[in-house]
Amino acid sequence: MPVSLRPCLCYHWAPMAAVTDEALAAAVAAGDHRALETVYGQHGAAVFGMARRVLRSQALAEEVAQEVFVRFWRDPGRYDPQRAPLRAFLLRDAHGRAVDLLRAETARRAREERDQSPASEEAPGPEHEVWEAVRSAKVKAALEGLPAAERDAIVLAFYAGLSYQEVARRLGEPEGTVKSRIRRGLERLRGPLLQEGTT
């Protein structure tokens, strides 16, 4: 697909608001490096911010952000413009990679701590800190509208990067119950989050 891209001889991105996500992805698929630079310019800060919220580490978040854009460059076909905006796709990818890295780091630290002390426990931080990751007032309001048990399960799973099994242990609930609460909670959030526009 032909895409008109402004020449750029530097590392600063050239704003091209008129170029659609689909055209940008097609240009990236065709090997146009300037298109990737534009995608980074539009979404790099958000991708990095997402990773930093989950990982609470600048260095690890940079690692994730780099991986997200390199993966997009190498395999742009993973993105389907019919299913989601490019920003949503990149943020979801960043979240997934951040969670993977968080679990690997947690496991590594737990191993190291076990070597030094018998009492080590994986702990992502208190709930109120996790809750602070939610920057959007609209999403915060939507989450507050959920039953507390569903909200806690979703917030711990998504913003603290816990598996549903870890959430269950943390909340002292059966795994199946937590799984169901996550599912029900997400279905309830569709209304307030998607029918009135996006954040």
Partner 1 sequence: MSPDLEVESLLGAYALDALSLEERRRVEAALAADPELRKIADLLDEVAAELAAAAVGDADRTPAGLWARIAAATTPIPVSRARGSLWRRWLAPALAATAVAAAAVLAVVAVGQHTRLIDFEESPLAAAAAAARNQQGSVVVALTGRVPAEVILAADGTGYLLTPDAPALTAEETYQLWAIVGDRVISAGILGPDPEVAAFHVSGEIAGFALTVEVAGGVVSSEQEPVAVGLIGT
Q: According to CB under 8 A, which residues from 89 to 118 bind partner 1?
A: 91-92, 94-96, 99
Q: Considering only residues 1, 6, 14, 78, which one is a binding residue for partner 1 as defined by CB under 8 A?
A: 78
Region of 1-9, 16-24, 85-93, 118-126 interacting with partner 1 (CB under 8 A): 85-93
Under rule CB under 8 A, residue 33 binds partner 1: yes
Query: From its phi and psi, is residue 123 left (phi > 0), alpha (psi between -120 and 50) or beta?
Result: beta
Under rule CB under 8 A, residue 55 binds partner 1: no
Residues 6+ apart with CB under 8 A from 127: 152, 155, 156
Region of 1-9, 112-120, 121-129, 176-184 interacting with partner 1 (CB under 8 A): 176-184
Under rule CB under 8 A, residue 29 binds partner 1: yes
Token couple for 165: 């099994």
CB of 81 to partner 1, least distance (A): 13
Cβ proximity to partner 1, 23 vs 189, nearer residue: 189
Under rule CB under 8 A, residue 81 binds partner 1: no
Name the H helices within 146-174: 148-158, 164-171
CB of 98 to partner 1, least distance (A): 8
Q: Do residues 27 and 53 lie in contact, with contact meaning Cβ atoms separated by under 8 Å?
A: no
The DSSP string of 50-77 is: HHHHHH--HHHHHHHHHHHHHHHHH-GG
Cβ proximity to partner 1, 23 vs 99, nearer residue: 99
Region of 14-22, 88-96, 112-120, 121-129 interacting with partner 1 (CB under 8 A): 88-96
Region of 14-22, 108-116, 117-125, 172-180 interacting with partner 1 (CB under 8 A): 172-180
Q: Do residues 67 and 97 lie in contact, with contact meaning Cβ atoms separated by under 8 Å?
A: yes
CB of 44 to partner 1, least distance (A): 4
N residues, the chain: 199
CA distances from residue 16 to 4, 24, 45, 74 in whole angstroms, order as listed: 9, 10, 17, 22
Cβ proximity to partner 1, 5 vs 189, nearer residue: 189
Q: Do residues 32 and 77 lie in contact, with contact meaning Cβ atoms separated by under 8 Å?
A: no
